[in-house]
Amino acid sequence: MNNAPDVTAWGKFLISRRIDELRKIQRKARKRWSGGKHVHKLRTHARRLRAAAEDLRSCISNAQQLIDESKDLGHKTGQVRDADVLIRRLRGYRRFAGPAERAEIDTVCEPLFKQRKAARKPAKDAIDEIGFRKPK
């Protein structure tokens, strides 16, 4: 008698769990946008879903759709995340800088704040638009 688990059923279960986790983070990112923490988590969960869908492509009927949607979400939230990371680093350097260097760091940060603000709308729209349908 064969006691091997059904890989297709297991794959669907795993993908469904990844989608549930991602949806939770989507809701949190919508509510608490500032700070960048949820954008980072959203991107991380989207990468995990994409990796699982790529690995289990033969078991999941909508794998390519999930891969494409997770790539799209990552792409559309990338500029916000990149700006967050750079701003955080520069602010960390600023603590150890003298007055002249602080002024220069502030000058460097200004376009990053603008970049982040401009990227927020497409990123928020992507969070709202991408639905991640579970496999059947």
Locate 45 and state its tokens: 């969960």
What's the pTM? 0.82
Sign of CA dihedral 60, 61, 63, 66: negative
Q: What is the pLDDT of residue 34?
A: 64
Q: What is the pLDDT of residue 129?
A: 87
Neighbouring CB atoms inside 10 A of 1's CB total 2
For range 116-130, the mean pLDDT? 88
Sign of CA dihedral 131, 134, 135, 136: negative
Report the C-alpha gap between 9 and 1 in whole angstroms: 19
Residue 46 buriedness (CB in 10 A; 0-12 / 13-18 / 19+): buried
Q: pLDDT tens digits, residue range 65-103? A: 999 999 999 999 998 899 989 999 999 999 999 999 999
Beta-carbon contacts of 51 under 8 Å, excluding residues fewer than 6 positions away, are none
